[in-house]
């Protein structure tokens, strides 16, 4: 049992954040057992961890990030396809070397935890070995993660291309090996339609739906990409329809970007309860376009935030909140909502809001201890974190009740 005396800043909904001052959280193994005011707490003979001059928030969640691109942050091209061919695919080929893959994975997870991300949905590469290494390193460091082997069986450089059956079978093997092991999940990861055959996408879609597994991919990020999808899949009515036909849409599917949808595509997303990872920094960096935030929330789509490193330049989810705010020129996403997006909102995107996302009795204790003046209002605290301090405020990280070294 652990007892922490602290102040809790806690997201409750899109519009509401609560601030519980001078409370004691009781953590029983991995679970938040109780939260009471420190005056009500009977503290005799109990050792209390004193964080009364700090603020505790739930661990941050990143719903879209590429482990394999950690080393190419900031390599600039102003178009997605050009960037993939010039920097990304050659770097991903390097992870075919297991030593390099392990080195990158260790560095990536260490940095992820340092910025206060306690859960992430991660793309590795098309290498089964590199993906297995990523799982091993995630397990060692005790982070909560959904991890997937990238599937690509067409329009792909020789060092990354896979045979269709092999791509599918290796994904299933990894899923059987790692899904639900400790804090880990497997996520089927057909990279995006241009590099996947309809056959491969359907195999993955059918398997994942039948077995209630996660899926992640990219959708409608860039105009050249959309034109390529139209050319490659002339039978489909739209980019989203390519995925719909392959049975890839559903509540456990996380689509990244989703910038340029028409209304019919939006209906397909809504009717299937498919989730969205909005990656604002990446959209700025690759000049992909402006995410239609207001339109999507008005249509009741479930969305959250992703760093998309290395389309994005930083793992810091506070920075991603800032970018999400800056991206909307005619609409203000308020600080409570930005905070919600990277915590409880992202937990909903990952269908994990029953166990993480905020600090509630019965949920798992994924917590950050922040070095910030607690004598401020909710708006002042959130503004300082989002627009000024970012990751630098993160002092301690707990995942599933366990303090992890940062
Ligand atoms: N679309 C397909 N692959 C990628 C990728 O690695 N990054 C981004 N931003 N978009 C993609
Ligand atoms: Zn991406």
Spell out the domain ranges in the chain. Answer: 2-58+358-404, 60-315
With a 6 Å cutoff on the Cβ, whether 88 touches ligand 1 is: yes
CA–centroid distance, 254 to ligand 2, in Å, is: 11
pTM: 0.99
Atom of ligand 1 nearest to the CA of 194: 2
Atom number in ligand 1 closest to CA 286: 9
Question: Is residue 191 within 6 Å of ligand 1 at its C-beta?
Answer: yes
Q: Give the model's pLDDT for residue 347.
A: 99
From 311, 312, 313, 323, mutation site for ligand 1 pocket: most ligand atoms within 8 A of C-beta: 311
CATH ID of 60-315, from 3.30.70.3000, 3.40.50.300, 3.20.20.140, 1.10.10.60 = 3.20.20.140
Mutate to test the pocket of ligand 1, among 308, 313, 323 (most ligand atoms within 8 A of CB): 308
Report in angstroms the alpha-carbon separations of 50 from 2, 7, 208, 337.
Answer: 11, 11, 45, 29
State the distance from the centre of ligand 1 to the C-alpha of 95, rounded, in angstroms: 17
* CATH code for the part of the protein at 2-58+358-404: 2.30.40.10
Q: Give the ligand at the shortest distance from the Cα of 256.
A: 2
Would 2-58+358-404 and 60-315 be classified into the same CATH topology? no
Q: Which residues of the chain fall below pLDDT 50?
A: none
Q: Is 221's C-beta closer than 6 angstroms to any atom of ligand 1?
A: yes
Report whether residue 83 contacts ligand 1, using a CB cutoff of 6 Å. no
Residues 347-367 as b or e (16 or more Cβ within 10 Å = b): bbbbbbbebbbbbbeebbbbb
Q: What is the pLDDT of residue 9?
A: 98
- Ligand 1: atom nearest CA of 312 is 9
pLDDT of res. 5: 97
Which ligand number lies closest to the CA of residue 286? 1
Task: Evaluate whether 211 touches 239 at the Cβ level (below 8 Å).
Answer: no
Residue in 70, 88, 195 to alter for ligand 1 test, most ligand atoms within 8 A of Cβ: 88
Q: Is the CB of 5 under 6 A from ligand 1?
A: no
């Amino acid at each position: 049992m652990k007892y922490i005396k602290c102040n809790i800043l806690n997201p409750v909904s899109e519009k509401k954040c609560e601030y519980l001052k001078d409370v004691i959280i009781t953590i029983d193994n991995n679970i938040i057992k109780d939260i009471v005011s420190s005056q009500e707490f009977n503290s005799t003979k109990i050792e209390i961890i004193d964080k009364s001059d700090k603020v505790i928030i739930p661990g941050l969640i990143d719903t879209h990030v590429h482990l394999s691109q950690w080393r190419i942050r900031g390599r600039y091209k102003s178009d997605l396809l050009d960037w993939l061919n010039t920097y990304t695919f050659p770097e991903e080929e390097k992870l075919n070397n297991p030593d390099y893959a392990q080195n990158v994975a260790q560095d990536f997870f260490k940095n992820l935890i340092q910025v206060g991300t306690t859960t992430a949905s991660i793309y590795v590469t098309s290498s089964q070995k590199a993906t297995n290494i990523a799982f091993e390193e995630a397990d060692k460091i005790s982070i909560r993660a959904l991890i997937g082997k990238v599937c690509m069986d067409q329009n792909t450089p020789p060092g990354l291309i896979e045979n269709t059956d092999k791509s599918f079978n290796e994904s299933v093997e990894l899923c059987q090996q790692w899904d639900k092991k400790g804090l880990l999940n497997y996520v089927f990861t057909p990279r995006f339609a241009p590099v996947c055959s309809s056959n491969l996408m359907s195999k993955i879609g059918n398997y994942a739906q039948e077995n209630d597994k996660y899926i992640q991919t990219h959708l409608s990020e860039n105009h050249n990409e959309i034109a390529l999808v139209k050319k490659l899949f002339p039978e489909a009515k739209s980019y989203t329809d390519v995925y719909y036909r392959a049975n890839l849409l559903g509540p456990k599917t996380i689509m990244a970007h989703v910038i340029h949808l028409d209304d019919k595509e939006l209906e397909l997303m809504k009717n299937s309860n498919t989730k969205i990872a909005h990656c604002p920094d990446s959209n700025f960096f690759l000049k992909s376009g402006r995410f239609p935030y207001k339109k999507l929330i008005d249509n009741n789509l479930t969305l959250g935030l992703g760093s998309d490193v290395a389309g994005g330049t930083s793992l810091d989810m506070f920075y991603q909140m800032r970018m999400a705010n800056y991206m909307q020129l005619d609409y203000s996403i308020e600080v409570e909502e930005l905070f919600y997006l990277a915590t409880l909102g992202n937990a909903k995107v990952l269908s994990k809001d029953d166990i993480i996302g905020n600090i509630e009795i019965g949920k798992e204790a994924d917590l950050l201890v922040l070095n910030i003046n607690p004598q401020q209002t909710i708006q002042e605290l959130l503004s300082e974190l989002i627009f000024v301090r970012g990751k630098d405020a993160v002092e301690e990280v707990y995942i599933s009740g366990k303090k992890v070294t940062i």
